[in-house]
């Protein structure tokens, strides 16, 4: 099928370029690993747990969701560099599918995110985190959906604003409140009622609750399917919108 073929062409090129500089994947995990090693151990009293394993069970899912959100949101910068080099315009005069121009790139972002997530999970295993493989895979699916959505949004915005100077503050102003109001780093269990009310309207809060349930081993919790469903719907919307931006005129 043409669409699948086009997606794989774009994806393969992007992976090839990424693997030419694989150090970026490591740079991307450096900060979360620092959090994991230096920050998480301090959390035991705050989370009211007695072992490292329990602390990681709560902290690691949040960290991974955080990585997925931020990693995705900042992919737009690479696209602006491509716009400037004329690569996007050159693709747009070919019959290649516009959806493929987006998905080929977003899927690379998903793959690099999952690679980072695996590194962090393996490290956490060293610190006695335990999680069922099946649950872990479902959690990775959640991460993949988040990263698909955030990277698509970032690409769409990049195509609209066309400059790094506009993209950076925009992404930061979106990302900060989303982060603070989602209970990503610490669960909102101890938060005042109004804050929890606000968080209910934050889709990432649902995603992080679902991921935590999976790491807890609570596959049956409604948080899981609710989180996956919300992320899937948002990812589809984001992809549809960003693909339309690829089809529209781009300077």
Partner 1 sequence: MIETRGLRKSFTSRQGREKKTVEAVRGVDLNVAEGEIFGFLGPNGAGKTTTLRMLATLIVPDDGTATIAGADLRSDPGEVRRRIGYVAQGGSTWDDSTAREELILQARLYGVSKTVAHQRAERVLKGFQLSDYADRKCKTYSGGQRRRVDIALGIIHEPKVVFLDEPTTGLDPQSRAHMWDEIRRLRAEGMTVFITTHYLDEADALCDRISIMDNGEIVASGTPADLKREISGDVVRVGLPASSIAAAAEALEGYKFDTYDDNVRLYVEDGAVAIPQILRALDAADVPLGTVELHRPSLDDVFLTKTGRSLRES
For the bound state, the minimum distance from the C-beta of residue 96 to partner 1, rounded and expressed in Å, comes to: 5
Q: Which is nearer to partner 1, 90 or 130 (CB)?
A: 90
Q: Smallest distance, Å, CB 86 to partner 1?
A: 4
Q: Which residue, 153 or 158, has its beta carbon nearer to partner 1? A: 158
CB of 31 to partner 1, least distance (A): 24
* Distance from C-alpha of 142 to C-alpha of 131, rounded to nearest angstrom: 15
Q: Which tokens belong to 3?
A: 């669409």
Q: How far is the CB of 111 from partner 1 (least distance, A)?
A: 18
Q: How far are the Cα atoms of 68, 146, 218, 245, 247 from residue 187, in angstroms, in the given order?
A: 18, 19, 16, 36, 40
CA gap 70, 164 in Å, rounded? 16
Closer of 17 and 122 to partner 1 (Cβ): 17
Give me the residues that bind partner 1 (CB under 8 A), please: 2, 6, 9, 13, 16-17, 20-21, 82, 85-87, 89-96, 249-250
The nearest distance, CB 92 to partner 1, in angstroms, is 6
Judged by CB, which is closer to partner 1: 5, or 130? 5
CA distance 61 to 54: 12
Cβ closest to partner 1, residue 75 vs residue 202: 75
List all residues 6 or more positions away from 137 whose beta carbon is below 8 Å from its beta carbon.
none
CB 117 within 8 A of CB 64: yes
């Amino acid at each position: 099928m043409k669409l699948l073929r086009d997606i794989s062409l774009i994806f393969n090129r992007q992976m090839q370029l990424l693997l030419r500089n694989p150090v970026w994947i490591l740079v991307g995990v450096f900060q979360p690993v620092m959090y994991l090693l230096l920050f998480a151990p301090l959390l035991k009293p705050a989370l009211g747990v007695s072992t490292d394993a329990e602390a990681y069970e709560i902290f690691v899912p949040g960290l991974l969701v955080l990585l997925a959100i931020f990693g995705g949101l900042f992919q737009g910068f690479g696209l602006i560099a491509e716009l400037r080099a004329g690569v996007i315009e050159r693709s747009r005069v070919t019959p290649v599918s516009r959806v493929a121009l987006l998905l080929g790139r977003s899927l690379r972002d998903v793959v690099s995110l999952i690679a980072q997530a695996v590194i962090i999970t393996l490290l956490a295993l060293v610190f006695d985190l335990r999680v069922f493989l099946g649950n872990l895979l479902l959690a990775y699916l959640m991460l993949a959906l988040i990263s698909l959505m955030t990277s698509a949004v970032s690409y769409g915005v990049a195509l609209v604003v066309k400059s790094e100077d506009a993209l950076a503050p925009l992404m930061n102003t979106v990302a900060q409140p989303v982060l603070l109001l989602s209970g990503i780093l610490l669960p909102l269990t101890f938060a005042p009622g109004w804050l929890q009310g606000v968080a209910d309207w934050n889709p990432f809060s649902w995603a992080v609750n679902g991921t935590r349930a999976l790491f807890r081993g609570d596959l049956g919790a409604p948080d899981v399917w609710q989180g996956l469903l919300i992320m899937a719907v948002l990812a589809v919307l984001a992809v549809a919108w960003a693909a339309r931006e690829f089809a529209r005129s781009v300077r």
